[in-house]
Amino acid sequence: MSDSNNDNPFDPPQPERFEPSPLPAPHRAEPLPDAPAPIHAPVPAHEAFHPADPVLGGADPAAGLPPDTRMTLDGTSVWLNRLGEELVAWLKTLASAAVYATLIVTFGFQVARVEGMSMAPTLQDQDRLIVNKLAYRLGDPKVGDIVMLYYPLKPEKSFVKRIIAEEGDQVRIVDGRVFRNDVPLDDSFVPPDYRSHDDWGPRVIDEGYYFVMGDHRNNSSDSRHWGLVPKKYIIGKVQLRWWPMGHAKVF
């Protein structure tokens, strides 16, 4: 029996054949017409490094230390520099304050403390005062002013008194009543039990001098006992009682 198919079913299959596809043409990079030529920086020679460069082991004090150690040292230096600048600024401020305080005390104002009762009831023992020293550099003391003055018999001591009369005035005291140029002074601020009953004068006040008394007339050492006060011994005008705080008063 014959078969029209000539293939032998027992022949081994033939392997498939592949034809290689043609490879594409390689891509050729065309240089841009205006592209600049590459620049090659030369490697610096040894002389281009700073002598203290830590890479070369120069004179850097932090050479050879780990990076974190060098950062710590740098931070400490910056902190010390800032601290020094702050201290210098504070010292300048304190010096300026001391100079200003000296000028104020010398030429402007002075803090004083009352000791004793010779100016009672106007001023009490241990009252704190501000004395205006500029007042009598710009003008003259006036009758009725409360002043701080050097004690004429012992100038290293100072007193607080009230001016009763100035140069050219005539003063007399009759039974404790004070007359200035034959006109009785208004001494209503003196309580009856603070009045004196002495007599003094009459006397004309010398040029450049003042007659002073304490408000506590029967308990005051003043011009009735040790004489007149030269103008140059008057330190300044009592401007303010600032202590005790509850009894602060401007004069």
Phi and psi at 218, nearest 5°, equal: -95, 10
Per-position DSSP letters for 12-79, written without gaps between them: PPPPP--PPPPPPPPP-PPPPTTPPPP--PPPPPGGGS-TT-GGGT-S-TTTTS-HHHHHHHHHHHHH
What is the rounded CA–CA span in Å between residue 137 and residue 108? Answer: 10
What is the rounded CA–CA span in Å between residue 36 and residue 43? Answer: 21
Looking at residue 90, the DSSP 8-state letter turns out to be H
What is the rounded CA–CA span in Å between residue 177 and residue 115? Answer: 26
Annotated catalytic residues are 118, 161
- Structure tokens, 58: 């120069």
CA atoms within 13 A on the CB side of 63: 11
Looking at residue 231, the DSSP 8-state letter turns out to be G
